[in-house]
Amino acid sequence: MEMLLRVLSFLALNMLLHVHAQTGFISIDCGVDEDYIDNTTKLFYSSDANFIDSGENKNIPYDFTSTIYEKQLTNVRSFPKGVKNCYTLPADQGKDNKYLIRAVFMCGNVQEYNNQLPEFKLYLGVEEWDSVTFNSSYNIVRREIIYVPKTDEIYVCLVNTDSGTPFISALELRPIDDSIYNKTQSGSLVLFNRYNFGSETSETVRYGDDVLDRIWGPYSWSSGESIKAPYSSSGLSENQFKLPAKVMETAVKPVNGTSLDFYLDGIDSSQEFYVYLHVAEIETLVQGQIREFTVSVNKKAISSAIQPRYMIADTYFTQSSLSGSELNFSLSQTNQSTLPPIMNALEIYMIKEFVQLSTEQRNVDAMKKIKSVYQMTKSSWQGDPCLPRNYSWDGLICSDNGYNAPSITSLNLSSSNLAGKIDKSFSNLTSLQYLDLSYNSLNGEVPEFLSEMSSLKTLNLSGNKLTGSVPSALLAKSNDGTLSLSLDGNPDLCKTNSCNTKTKKKNSVVVPVVASIASVVVLLGAIFAVYWRFIGGGRRGKPAGVKPNDRDNVSQLEFQKPDVPNEEENWDSELEEIQKEVIETNGKLEARKQRLSYSEVKRITNNFGEVIGKGGSGLVYNGRLSNGIKVAVKKLSPSLNLAFEQFQNEARYCDEGSNMLLIYEYMANGNLKEHISGKNGSVLSWEQRVQIAIEAAQALEYLHDGCNPSIIHRDVKAANILLNEKMQAKVADFGWSRSMPSESQSHVSATFVVGTSGYLDPEYNKTGKLTKESDVYSFGIVLLELISGRSAKIEDNLSILDWFYPVFESGKLEDIVDPRLQGIFSTNSAWRAVETANSCIPLRSIERQTMSYVVNELKECLKLLEMSSPSNTGVTITRPIGTETGPQAR
């Protein structure tokens, strides 16, 4: 009898294990001792023994769980020790596939946590996923993400932030079909909320009903009326999104009125949202009845007309992300519709970018091997060895330049109770420069492979029980100074070549002992010093619109960012900007010399995954560095022979075979021309104008005087001065630039004159002789534009100078300075600026000032501004008496 029962239960377990294997689900009840089958979901839950090797199991007292029907919440694994504790989940479907990962937390007994609700961080892979906070001890917190791992093992780590002991109740992984919940690049979707509308019960729908085990909470709509399908139908699940029929057979419609409105407010406007709307007609329509509606966000339509199909589920989702501090959604009945809109279910996700590369795989494998061979019990040795940066494994230093996968450069296992031989796996730490294995109980011979580790500069093996002889190659490296080797305190080790040569002759080999790691520090320092900043400009464009197809099961709505005007023209000018190369104003020459390999750029752009623009000379791709900086990468068509050769040392570029790439910083504030024209609605303050002028002038000064040979820009204009998010100016577009062949030559002769009408140096135009002063002239025009708010060409045949000279001679500053400033500027500063501009624009180039003079004068303008009191903002402006700053007759 007992035997029979055993066999039966064995069969039952096997059957379920089979189901478990088939679906690829991993369900872990953290802190439980034995595996079991969950009563409600019928899913197999395993204990966490095979997924983590730290922490303590804790039961939550019955008092706290008596009302809770989820068994997973009745115990937790808590982590009083160690800063970072990681679960390792196998990605059974392999990396680069999509998984839903859910972590569940309920703390229950607060006494365990010193009567304070704990707070801690959750990391996924090597980056922060979310923080975990509670509002009460019964608060069940779920964190859910749709994630595409880049490694075959997924780390879910809890990080202690000194606000209580981290713990976890359950961890679940569900494979998701690649065709749904699509997002670009490295983006993952963090669940914001998932709603089941019209449900008549308070029941939560999940596995069993939902094959993907999404959790659908009921939502009751105060101004909505719940409706239910007359019967249940499998048609409601026959959608790529595999929606549960139980969720789709109920819906909400307005009680009265023609729209369903909901809004997200108090949201972080930098957060990007994706919305999935699931609809099916579940009322029986009679002849003449039509249900049709459109979706809008902040009053802007983001869909064409939607007609739900009878008992068939259709999913509509945003094609691009939505953001804003408030998102007001409205489903509104169209004119021809006789029925109000309905909504069956809704999912809202937030984009989370995971861009940091994990530690180089061979290093990871080697460290795991070392951990297991020497049975290391260091609590920090969990998850990725190098990352997150602050939580790397004890004793490691890793290289991290922001775009390569980190690798280990220094390993200190001194006094770590290592016993046995020096394992071969150390040889796979190919970037290792410093290895300290001193004061352990290592025995056996000093292995040959240590001499083949080409990066190794310091090797400390002292204080062990090594025997035999030292490989001669290792001694040779030590002798010629390429390796600092320390072998002291290994009584049975022969430390000289004599044992190798088997001669008795005493050899006076001195083994240098270097205990300092100064060289490593210096080296790492150097790596960080070239940690690069980007130069260049570009903008992220709007994605190509995808026409909604409301007859498809899955339709893509062209959801646009609410506040971006939908102008093709706008996009074109943005594209133009992307094509421009930018030089930094404050001369970070070191940074400029950084070169990237093609594969590094490939990684930054996620294999050129997202095209954000197309220009005459190539496609522009979206990219992102591990430090989060957005960049645009332009891949130049190989056929184009642009004038970039001149700038090989200045421009950050990557050139591999026929692939030429330019990387640009994301210039959030567009170009100066837009700001002068007031096109974007804001008026630059006087101080901002002076600041921009200084930065642009410095860039030109650098080109003229800081570069050897010096460089003439040839196309200085407001549209070529780009502004980043801090309104810092960068000079762009070197497409036409020329370098001066030699210092002795004062000009270069151009075969044809280039430049932009309105800014073009008249002398150069006439003679074709290009000098630095041509740039000075153009800059003078830009300065006038900045001062006056007028553009270089006032009308077709009227330049800014035709306007400027008469008003300048009249000496009325208030007529010169941009009226939009409403008199709010310093008179002295403005006069100085006008004078400076005037000194740039004489017809004869020889009479013009140099860029360094201009820079100095503009700096004076800024000083004058700082000196002027706030009250000096009167509207009556006259030329200051007794100064030389008045106009001079021409």
Ligand X SMILES: *[C@@H]1O[C@H](CO)[C@@H](O)[C@H](O)[C@H]1NC(C)=O
* Bridge partners, 100 (sequence order): 146, 174
Tell me how far apart the alpha carbons of residues 234 and 227 are, in angstroms, rounded to a whole number: 18
Using rule CB under 6 A, residue 135 touches ligand X: yes
Tell me how far apart the alpha carbons of residues 773 and 776 are, in angstroms, rounded to a whole number: 5
* Minimal distance, residue 151 CB to ligand X, in Å: 14
Site for ligand X in 772-811 (CB under 6 A): none
* Minimal distance, residue 305 CB to ligand X, in Å: 9
Q: Contact region for ligand X (CB under 6 A) — 196-204, 214-222, 365-373, 687-695?
A: 365-373
From 126, 101, 95, 121, select the one nearest 28 (Cα to Cα).
101
Tell me how far apart the alpha carbons of residues 628 and 364 are, in angstroms, rounded to a whole number: 24
How far apart, in Å, are the Cα atoms of 352 and each of 113, 779, 804?
30, 43, 52
Using rule CB under 6 A, residue 369 touches ligand X: yes
Residue type, 843: L
Q: Contact region for ligand X (CB under 6 A) — 133-141, 148-156, 276-284, 749-757?
A: 133-141
Spatial CB neighbours of 794, under 8 Å, sequence gap ≥ 6: 800, 802, 803
Both tokens of residue 334? 């169209």
Angle at 879 between CA 878 and CA 884, to 5 degrees: 175
Tell me how far apart the alpha carbons of residues 158 and 23 are, in angstroms, rounded to a whole number: 27
* Residue nearer to ligand X on the CB measure, 360 or 773: 360
Q: Answer whether 421's CB lies under 8 Å from 443's CB.
A: yes
* Residue nearer to ligand X on the CB measure, 39 or 115: 39
Question: How many secondary structure helices (H) and strands (E) does the chain include?
Answer: 18, 48
# binding residues, ligand X (CB under 6 A)? 29
Q: Contact region for ligand X (CB under 6 A) — 360-368, 470-478, 603-611, 631-639?
A: 360-368
Binds ligand X (CB under 6 A): choice among 10, 263, 528, 531: 263
* Residue nearer to ligand X on the CB measure, 424 or 679: 424
* Residue nearer to ligand X on the CB measure, 69 or 752: 69
Both tokens of residue 201? 């019960």
What is the SS3 assignment for 588?
Answer: coil
* Minimal distance, residue 486 CB to ligand X, in Å: 12
Q: What is the DSSP letter of 641?
A: -
Binds ligand X (CB under 6 A): choice among 9, 139, 372, 757: 139
Using rule CB under 6 A, residue 425 touches ligand X: yes
* Minimal distance, residue 390 CB to ligand X, in Å: 4
What is the SS3 assignment for 243?
Answer: coil
Binds ligand X (CB under 6 A): choice among 67, 202, 222, 256: 256
Q: What is the contact mask toward ligand X in residues 70 to 89, using x (rule: CB under 6 A)?
A: --------------------
* Residue nearer to ligand X on the CB measure, 328 or 685: 328
* Minimal distance, residue 335 CB to ligand X, in Å: 4
* Minimal distance, residue 245 CB to ligand X, in Å: 21
Residue type, 731: V
Q: Of all helices (H) and strands (E), which one includes residue 365?
A: helix 361-373
Residue 694 burial (CB count, 10 A): 20
**Exposed, middle or buried: residue 671 (CB in 10 Å: 0-12, 13-18, 19+)?**
buried
* Residue nearer to ligand X on the CB measure, 182 or 519: 182
* Residue nearer to ligand X on the CB measure, 83 or 473: 83
Both tokens of residue 380? 């920090």
* Minimal distance, residue 361 CB to ligand X, in Å: 7
Both tokens of residue 181? 């919940």
Binds ligand X (CB under 6 A): choice among 14, 116, 179, 746: 179
* Residue nearer to ligand X on the CB measure, 353 or 576: 353
From 185, 188, 246, select the one nearest 215 (Cα to Cα).
246
Q: Contact region for ligand X (CB under 6 A) — 48-56, 204-212, 359-367, 685-693?
A: 359-367
* Minimal distance, residue 556 CB to ligand X, in Å: 7
* Residue nearer to ligand X on the CB measure, 301 or 753: 301
The reply to whether 715 belongs to the active site is: yes
Place of tokens 């609590």: 379
Using rule CB under 6 A, residue 9 touches ligand X: no
Q: Answer whether 243's CB lies under 8 Å from 278's CB.
A: yes
Site for ligand X in 662-691 (CB under 6 A): none
Tell me how far apart the alpha carbons of residues 298 and 327 are, in angstroms, rounded to a whole number: 6
* Minimal distance, residue 428 CB to ligand X, in Å: 4
What is the SS3 assignment for 17?
Answer: helix
Tell me how far apart the alpha carbons of residues 783 and 696 are, in angstroms, rounded to a whole number: 10
Binds ligand X (CB under 6 A): choice among 1, 2, 4, 69: 69
Using rule CB under 6 A, residue 39 touches ligand X: yes
Q: What is the contact mask toward ligand X in residues 428 to 467, using x (rule: CB under 6 A)?
A: x-------x-------------------------------
Q: Contact region for ligand X (CB under 6 A) — 78-86, 176-184, 564-572, 805-813?
A: 176-184
* Bridge partners, 615 (sequence order): 618
Q: What is the DSSP letter of 787?
A: H
* Minimal distance, residue 466 CB to ligand X, in Å: 18
* Residue nearer to ligand X on the CB measure, 121 or 174: 121
The dihedrals phi and psi of 629, each to the nearest 5 degrees, come to: -65, 130
- Residue 679 assigned to a binding site: no
Site for ligand X in 272-301 (CB under 6 A): 298
Q: What is the DSSP letter of 385?
A: S
In DSSP notation, 513-576 reads: -----HHHHHHHHHHHHT---------PPPPPP----TTSSEEEE----TTS---HHHHHHHHH
Site for ligand X in 540-559 (CB under 6 A): 554
- Count CA atoms closer than 13 A to 849's CA, side-chain side: 19
Q: Contact region for ligand X (CB under 6 A) — 25-33, 134-142, 227-235, 563-571?
A: 134-142
* Residue nearer to ligand X on the CB measure, 332 or 829: 332
Spatial CB neighbours of 565, under 8 Å, sequence gap ≥ 6: none
Q: Contact region for ligand X (CB under 6 A) — 174-182, 791-799, 836-844, 863-871?
A: 174-182
Both tokens of residue 546? 């995808």
Tell me how far apart the alpha carbons of residues 867 and 854 are, in angstroms, rounded to a whole number: 20
Catalytic residue among 213, 400, 715, 775: 715
Using rule CB under 6 A, residue 255 touches ligand X: yes
* Bridge partners, 74 (sequence order): none
Q: What is the contact mask toward ligand X in residues 304 to 333, using x (rule: CB under 6 A)?
A: ----------------------x-x-----
* Minimal distance, residue 480 CB to ligand X, in Å: 24
Q: Of all helices (H) and strands (E), which one includes residue 64?
A: helix 62-65
Q: Answer whether 76's CB lies under 8 Å from 168's CB.
A: yes
Binds ligand X (CB under 6 A): choice among 517, 557, 625, 816: 517
Site for ligand X in 182-211 (CB under 6 A): 182
Q: What is the contact mask toward ligand X in residues 86 to 125, using x (rule: CB under 6 A)?
A: ----------------------------------------
Q: Contact region for ligand X (CB under 6 A) — 407-415, 620-628, 783-791, 870-878?
A: 407-415
How far apart, in Å, are the Cα atoms of 730 and each of 380, 708, 773?
44, 20, 20
Using rule CB under 6 A, residue 368 touches ligand X: no
* Residue nearer to ligand X on the CB measure, 490 or 774: 490
Q: Would you name the residues annotated as active-site residues?
A: 715
Binding-site annotation: residue ranges: 635
Q: Which spans of this chain sit near ligand X (rule: CB under 6 A)?
A: 39, 69, 135-136, 139, 178-179, 182, 255-256, 263, 298, 326, 328, 335, 362, 365-366, 369, 390, 412, 414-415, 424-425, 428, 436, 517, 554
Binding-site annotation: residue ranges for ATP: 635
